Amino acid sequence: MTVSKIGSLVYICIAQNAKDMPSKKPAQLTDEELIKQDKTLKAIVSLVFGAMGVLIAANLILLFRKGFSALQVIPVALLPIVLLLAGSRKEVKNEMEKRGLRS
């Protein structure tokens, strides 16, 4: 699977789940919605971290073979998205702990 296909899958996953996910704060969600959001965020964060790992590895290989290129900025540019997703999952996990829920 190429990097562009992984990126497309991540985008489709995020776009599809963005429609399904409520825009409420974790404290306003029901237990079922909170568990669903946790599972969704877990999958998305895993996919994005995996894609970032592949991008970084590919960039390192290309750096040594062909030198620096403008495409090597992409993983750095995607870093804020990864941090936002991880922060959202952390908020959901904290709310689940307060309620005594397990995913």
1 has a pLDDT exceeding 70: no
pTM: 0.68
Asked, for residue 103, whether it belongs to a domain, the answer is: no
Can you give the residue range of the structural domain that contains 62? 3-98
The total number of structural domains in the chain stands at 1
Contact 4, 51 (CB under 8 A): no
CA atoms within 13 A on the CB side of 98: 13
Asked, for residue 92, whether it belongs to a domain, the answer is: yes
Q: What letter does residue 22 receive in the DSSP assignment?
A: -
pLDDT at position 90, please? 93
Task: Work out the average pLDDT over 41-52.
Answer: 90
Q: CA-CA distance, 44 to 8, in Å (whole number)?
A: 13
Asked, for residue 72, whether it belongs to a domain, the answer is: yes
